Amino acid sequence: METKIFQKNEIKMAADTLRQNELVAFPTETVYGLGANATSEQAVKKVFAVKGRPTDNPLIVHVQNFEQVKNYVAQFHPLTPQIVERFWPGPLTLIFKTKPNAFPSVVSAGLSTVSFRMPNHPLTLALIEATGVPLVGPSANTSGRPSPTTSQHVYHDLQGKIAGILEGGATEIGVESTVLDLSDSHRAPMILRPGGVTKEELEAALGMDVLVDPHLVSESEAPKSPGMKYQHYAPSTKVLMIGPTDWEEALNWAQKQQLKVGLQASPEVVRRFQSQAQASYCYADNQVASATKGLFAGLRALDEADLDYIFVATYPETGLGTAYMNRLKKAANQKYFMNN
């Protein structure tokens, strides 16, 4: 199969392809999604097959607007209108209980809930409108690999396996959306996956505490949200997390072990230590937003450099740093330098 790159003036062609139950990757403000007709069991099953994704890992349904969600949900959490008004379109996924048989069961991994998101990207909103149905859109990469933040990343993983990619440039945020569980109308909203909308932003908008699900799903339990159960975001090269004061010790250890390492960190860290490494990926500045935007791109770039380890900078787990560290911990299999 030839994988076509659709330009912005070819959205109708991309939509026609999706209506034929083929797969087309699309850009969002978070990462690129692997699009398929969410109402077609045949199309959705292709997503799992192409990604190598476990079938008990539910998918997020991408919609054009909130009115589209109303076709599938029987009852909404009382805070839903306030949350949608403030955060949609945007990097926030909302979980609702759906009407019976609203989607093929493969979309929700057999659960009674479905995750919905309205992405903040004009090309993808136009694509959903032109297709005429909601689209599932997990990250458009091989399952477990770093998520794609450019069309080139998608092409690298999925060329010849999908019908097309809608070109939208590099993504803005760089990690997947926050997932907020609103399926229980009698409970406060609960974050199942941190992302582009922070706990602090949600609490400020709602004037109340927002719960956070702290546990990792066990092997026997079906995850309610993507990203809760399986190792994610990992390059082939081993990743170690390096604390702010541990760089010198970590690099000295690597030199003694005759290991080839790459640095992924702020300009300040890279300038100081790059002479002791075989490769480096420098974030745009020292801020966590830049680190988050560059996390997956850096892991992918350094994975091509024939290294033994990628050393990646940690950030405080507050605000957007919560999402950054959530992804980095999974990419590193929870391993810090001192734990190596």
Query: What DSSP line would sit under 146-168, residue for residue?
Result: PPPSSHHHHHHHHTTTSSEEE--
Q: What is the pTM of this model?
A: 0.93
Q: How confident is the model over 71-100, as a mean pLDDT? A: 97
Taking alpha carbons only, the member of 138, 148, 103 closest to residue 117 is: 138
Q: Encoding tokens for residue 288?
A: 């966590």
Predicted confidence band of residue 227 (pLDDT cuts 50, 70, 90): low
* Residue 340 banded pLDDT, cuts 50, 70, 90: low
Q: How does pLDDT run across 12-50, given as a tens digit for each residue?
A: 999 999 999 999 999 999 999 999 999 999 999 999 999
Residue 219 has pLDDT above 80, yes or no: no
Class of CATH domain 4-212: alpha beta
Torsion of CA 236, 333, 294, 31, to 10 degrees: 90
Secondary element (H or E) of residue 37: strand 33-37
Q: How confident is the model at residue 74 (pLDDT cuts 50, 70, 90)?
A: confident
The mean pLDDT value for 169-179 works out to 97
> Per DSSP, what are the bridge partners of residue 280?
263
Q: Where are the domains of the chain?
A: 4-212, 238-339
- Chain mean pLDDT for the chain: 94
**pLDDT confidence bin for 5, thresholds 50/70/90:** very high
To the nearest whole percent, how much of the chain has pLDDT over 90? 91
pLDDT tens profile 134-146: 999 999 999 999 9
- Tell me the average pLDDT across 170-178: 98
What region, left, alpha or beta, does residue 333 occupy, with left being phi > 0 and alpha being psi -120 to 50 degrees?
A: left
Over range 191-215, report the average pLDDT.
Answer: 94
Predicted confidence (pLDDT) at residue 172 exceeds the cutoff of 60: yes
pLDDT of res. 223: 55
CA-wise closest residue to 151 among 14, 43, 21: 14
Assign 217 a pLDDT band (cuts: 50, 70, 90): very low
End-to-end CA distance of the chain: 43
Return the higher-pLDDT residue of 222 and 290.
290
**pLDDT higher than 70, residue 337:** yes
Q: Are 22 and 13 in contact (CB under 8 A)?
A: no
Q: Which of 155, 333, 109 is nearest to 233 (CA)?
A: 333
Cα–Cα distance measured from residue 152 to residue 294, given in angstroms and rounded to the nearest whole number: 15
pLDDT value at 220 more than 60: no
Is residue 188 packed enough to be buried (19+ CB in 10 Å), middle (13-18) or exposed (0-12)? Answer: middle
Q: Which CATH architecture has domain 238-339?
A: 3-Layer(aba) Sandwich (3.40)
